[in-house]
């Protein structure tokens, strides 16, 4: 068999529950020896943004967008039952009680397993996120052409 | 051609509209002779939970999560236009008028066509759902390793 | 290599942000010489509906559904931060400032690159959308069997 031994995941969502699912698949695949590409775009890119850093020189609209959606693994909402932050807080406590890793820990595990973290260049332009305010774990900044090349070499590709 | 004749669907969503889409694809593929794996995770797992059954011995947070998201095919919300349940009620009536099967009927059809219904073990732990309160139609309980094996053997894999 | 040089995208969402993502992938793939099938279903079908046209002879429920979700590229909400239309308005202005094309322009580009726009026949029945009120850019009306044939011939298939 000449099977492709890679997985590509477009992480479009910035929701805690969908990010968990993305990392469970990504780390599971990497642990089993597959090459994994995670392509963070739109709301998903917020995970890769440094928590303290603020974009500079943006117009008010981009500032407002950036202000409303907080960056980093600790600030992710839920896709359902968010309840002004109650939902994510509860889910995080439940995950901990179940001895499951946090999003921050999953990110670190993914890195140590060689998962490639890619930041979408188009989103960075639209959202006003320069490379300097991305976390150092990001492997590369790339666009749709790079994604297509990865997806073509993958056993399966998911949009999450 | 040595094409893979299987489909794997991760059913992450518990929304009526997305579940309909999942089952239309699953039953269509199975009817055309493809092997179909439906991997129910997170909110999607609620569909496979018995309607009357209550988890026992859970902490208050898990209880609250379980209380807020009702199980079973009759209690699925819509991803858009839910309107406190008005949306799903209307959609279900429209489906019936259009002579389309209900979610419950689609589940039965999927089973009769040999679609494999898999419950995600990680979600069961997090949500506090023991095997006993899953509906008997569930074929197996499995984790990410099993999903990866299925996805690798599939013509395409969807995250819904 | 006997790689499949096609992409199939199920456009289930009618949200502005997810439609942007769909068209960025679709036009990128088409520009690189891939065959692209976009299968518009459920909320996604609203994009292909003429803005002025009204369905005739529908029962009140279908009318209400049609009334609440406005058709056309200018009326798409955001999946997050919709804020009664403020979010989409801001995003559209940001896209323009970033010299990115609008949804309407992306649709035209997709057509000129040979992307195939397919309207889901099941959704048309459920939502009460006859062929006459679809935009002329639609290439064909088809169901799940046609989608499965396209997906089988695709390098990857996404559900967005």
The per-residue pLDDT for range C36-62, each reduced to its tens digit, is 999 999 999 999 999 877 766 677 777
C-alpha gyration radius of chain C? 16
What distance in Å separates the CA atoms of residue C107 and residue A51, rounded to the nearest whole number?
36
Of C118, C137, C138, the closest CA to residue C37 belongs to C118
- Which of A42, A59, A60, A147 best probes binding to C when mutated, by most C CB atoms within 10 angstroms? A42
Residue-wise pLDDT tens digits, A77-124: 888 888 778 888 888 888 888 888 999 999 999 999 999 999 999 999
- Residue in chain B nearest A23 by alpha carbon: B144
Residue B48 to residue B39: CA distance in whole angstroms: 11
- Which candidate from A12, A61, A159 shows the least CB-CB separation from C90? A61
Angle CA A95–A81–B94, to nearest 5: 130
Q: Note whether B120 and B40 are within 8 A (CB).
A: yes
ipTM computed for the complex:
0.92
Beta bridge partners of C6: C35
Mean pLDDT of chain A: 90
Structure token pair of residue C150? 């396209």
Tell me how crowded residue B134 is: count the other CB atoms within 10 A of its CB.
20
Query: Considering only CB atoms, which chain C residues are within 8 Å of A151?
Result: 155-156
pTM confidence score: 0.94
The pLDDT of residue C69 is above 60? yes
Q: Comparing A145 with A61, which gets the higher pLDDT?
A: A145
Contact indicator for C11, C44 with CB cutoff of 8 Å: yes
Q: Give the list of residues 6+ apart from residue A96 with CB closer than 8 angstroms, or none.
A: A102
Cα distance between residue A4 and residue C35, in whole Å:
21
Residue C57 zone, left/alpha/beta (φ > 0; ψ -120 to 50; rest):
left
**What region does B33 belong to: left with phi over 0, alpha with psi -120 to 50, or beta?**
left
Q: List beta partners, residue A116.
A: A37
């Amino acid at each position: 068999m000449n099977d492709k031994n890679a997985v590509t995941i477009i992480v479009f969502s910035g929701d805690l529950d969908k990010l968990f699912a993305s990392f469970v698949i990504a780390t599971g695949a990497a642990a089993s020896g597959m090459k994994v590409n995670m392509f963070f775009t739109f709301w998903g890119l917020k995970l890769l943004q440094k928590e303290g850093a603020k974009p500079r020189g943006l117009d008010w609209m981009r500032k407002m967008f950036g202000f409303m959606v907080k960056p980093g693994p600790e600030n992710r909402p839920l896709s359902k039952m968010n309840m002004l932050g109650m939902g994510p807080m509860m889910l995080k406590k439940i995950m901990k009680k179940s001895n499951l890793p946090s999003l921050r820990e999953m990110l670190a595990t993914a890195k140590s397993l060689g998962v490639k973290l890619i930041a979408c260049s188009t989103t960075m332009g639209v959202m006003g996120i320069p490379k300097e305010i991305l976390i150092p774990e990001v492997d590369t900044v790339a666009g749709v052409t790079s994604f297509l090349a990865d997806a073509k070499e993958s056993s399966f590709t998911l949009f999450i």
